[in-house]
Amino acid sequence: MNRRDTETQRAALLLALSLSAAAVPASAQQRAAPTDDVDVEVPARAATQPTPTPAQAPSQEPPRASNDELVRALQQRLDRLEARLAEAERRSATTAQATPPTPPTTTTTTPAQSTRDEAPRYAAIGASVVQTTTARPDAYSVLDPVGLVLSGFVQAQYETSQLSQDQLVQGMALNRDRFVLRRSRLRVDGSWRWFAMAFELDANTVRGPVVGVRRAEATFLWRNSGNRAVPWLAVTAGVTEPAFGAELGEGVRRRWFMERTTGSLAFFGGEADIGVRAWGGVGALRYALGVFNGVPLDDRGVQSGLRGIDPSRHLDLSGRFGVDTSAASRSWSVTAGVSFLAGSGFHPGDDGTKPSVEWRDNNQNSMIDAGELVAIAGRAPTPSFTFGRWAVNADVALRVRTRAGTTRVFAEATMATNLDRGVLAPDPIATGYDVRQLHGVAGFTQEITQYGIVGFRWDIYNANSDLFEERRGALEPKNQSVHTLSPLVGLTWPGYARLVFQYDIVLDALARDARGIPTDLANNQATVRVQGDF
């Protein structure tokens, strides 16, 4: 029973008591005392019981008590009912505190869910019925031992970019004005008392038609005694999210912004990796610790020529420790945490080459002249090497629910070394020095009732904080920072569909002005996305 229902019943109760006090004050005293039923609907039933009419009262009741006595008796009864109502609200709040914040979606309660509170805990475990729900399954879906749940969503969009050209470079099309099926997911979640599983397929057309596994995980659960509380311990293995930062685990279905920030995409080309993760919570404290291959699975498909992959046997260790106060209050919550990652990168060796001959047309007459044939000796194979990479991260988010809607303010920062695997993958073996990366993001979203959304996000990513370039014979610092300002506006039909427009203003130093000095490149982009859920 939610808070609004409780308040409605409370008002009805007081109104009924007032009316009965005005109409038949004596009859209330003779009514049997209510049983010790915690169901808050009891007073409402009492208020709706047939009451004698004023005309009948004089012949059926003993002599009237004084008005003061009546008022006192009614006041006592009102106090008792108030106390019972407060107790019922307290118990209801205790249950609600264990519930994590849910997205602003309309939940279609299934029969199994509707009886969950009345039945003994886990009584329904083992009822492996396939059901669909608009409640988004996410990392907390294992909190409900509801059997199997089928869900999915589709994100289709039109995107346009100032970078778009009708040209090919290295076989890659530069046109970015197009319709794209960004994601279409089909997911099966299963959750029982001790175990849970999830399997999710994705199909998209970002880099051509691609179908792949986005999630395939099995989880052992040591559940918290509180209903729907975060488990004491959960161990998840398979294709799942690494434990690092807040943005990575935000969930593509729930996130309002189109994509993760540039820095997050550089560190993790995809949200999923293969490994094992232990996670859980005690009260407001949260923890997650995982070991992964260190090769995020990019759901957009394989990008040819991408460096930064790590086929070595060294694993990446990552973790996040933080707090989540969403269980303490439904009106506001704070989520914060610190994360770390330690792992290794890979410098590939090569297989060696055969001797060869090269022609260098020194005098550019398109003919082989003396001295223009150069012998190139064969090279021996070179070994591969690994190098270290690490990152630290801090994130904080504040969520406030008001009559206007839910406001969320968030910020996150990451400092890393050699972690870029998607934008400018460093190779300290080749360059001889470690490459530092810096990433930061801040923003807010404001829901307007439950049907609208506005938001703004700023993020910065510096792929190499120590880069220099030579200009006019002098080494000048080369700014690699990319700032992105992303306002968005959208409409939503909770639980069913979204329509979101986002404009990305990208500020960088990737172009050059007439003096040859780096300046901002015209590479803003806009996206209109339609999302359908089931």
Partner 1 sequence: MRRSSACALALVAAIVASCGVPSPLGLEEPIRVERAMLVSDLATRDSSTTAITAFENPSALVAHQQRGKLVSGRATRDAFAVAMRLQNRGTGYWVLPLSTPDPSANDELTFEAMLSFAGDVTPGPAVAEVRAVGRDGVAGPASFFPLCLLGPIPDNLNVCDPSLAPPLLVVSLGWDTDADLDLEVELPDGRRIGPKRPSAGVAGAIDIDAGASCRHDGARRENFVVADAPLLGRYRVYASLFDACGQSHVYTRATVHRRALGAREGTFSQAETARADAQLTAFNVGAGERGAQLVLEFSLP
Provide the binding-site residues for partner 1, judged by CB under 8 A.
162-163, 165, 167, 169, 174, 362-366, 470-473, 503, 505-507, 510-517, 519-524
Nearer to partner 1, 67 or 364 (CB): 364
Nearer to partner 1, 386 or 446 (CB): 446
Nearer to partner 1, 447 or 504 (CB): 504
Angle at alpha carbon of residue 390, lines to 271 and 313, rounded to 5°: 75
Residue 510 CB burial class (10 angstroms; 0-12, 13-18, ≥19): middle
Q: How far is the CB of 471 from partner 1 (least distance, A)?
A: 5
In Å, how far are 182, 454, 481 from 502, measured between CA atoms?
15, 10, 21
Q: How far is the CB of 470 from partner 1 (least distance, A)?
A: 6
Q: Across-strand partners of 458?
A: 442, 485
Which tokens go with 12? 């009805």
Q: How far is the CB of 468 from partner 1 (least distance, A)?
A: 13
Residue with tokens 């089928």: 150
Torsion of CA 110, 115, 117, 120, to 10 degrees: -130
Nearer to partner 1, 33 or 474 (CB): 474
Cα–Cα dist 295/242, whole Å:
11
Q: How far is the CB of 506 from partner 1 (least distance, A)?
A: 7
Cα–Cα dist 5/89, whole Å:
11
Nearer to partner 1, 120 or 171 (CB): 171
Q: How far is the CB of 361 from partner 1 (least distance, A)?
A: 9
Q: How far is the CB of 518 from partner 1 (least distance, A)?
A: 9
In Å, how far are 2, 145, 475 from 116, measured between CA atoms?
15, 10, 68
Nearer to partner 1, 16 or 521 (CB): 521
Closest CA to 456 of 470, 441, 437: 441
Nearer to partner 1, 169 or 380 (CB): 169
Nearer to partner 1, 347 or 478 (CB): 478
Alpha helices in 205-361 (DSSP H): 262-267
Q: Which helix (H) or strand (E) holds 76?
A: helix 67-97
Nearer to partner 1, 211 or 522 (CB): 522
In Å, how far are 94, 167, 208, 307, 357 from 170, measured between CA atoms?
61, 10, 16, 16, 25
* Cα of 417 vs its chain's centroid, Å: 25
Q: How far is the CB of 475 from partner 1 (least distance, A)?
A: 11
Cα–Cα dist 291/237, whole Å:
10
Q: Please state whether 89 falls in left (phi above 0), alpha (psi between -120 and 50) or beta.
A: alpha
Q: How far is the CB of 460 from partner 1 (least distance, A)?
A: 16
Q: How far is the CB of 350 from partner 1 (least distance, A)?
A: 21
Nearer to partner 1, 215 or 457 (CB): 457
Q: How far is the CB of 355 from partner 1 (least distance, A)?
A: 18
Nearer to partner 1, 282 or 522 (CB): 522
Nearer to partner 1, 334 or 510 (CB): 510
Q: How far is the CB of 160 from partner 1 (least distance, A)?
A: 13
Angle formed by the axes of helices 3-23 and 41-48, nearest 10°? 30
Q: How far is the CB of 85 from partner 1 (least distance, A)?
A: 47
Cα–Cα dist 292/317, whole Å:
7
Closest CA to 531 of 48, 21, 128, 134: 134
Cα–Cα dist 305/170, whole Å:
11
Torsion of CA 62, 66, 67, 71, to 10 degrees: -80
Amino acid at 42: V
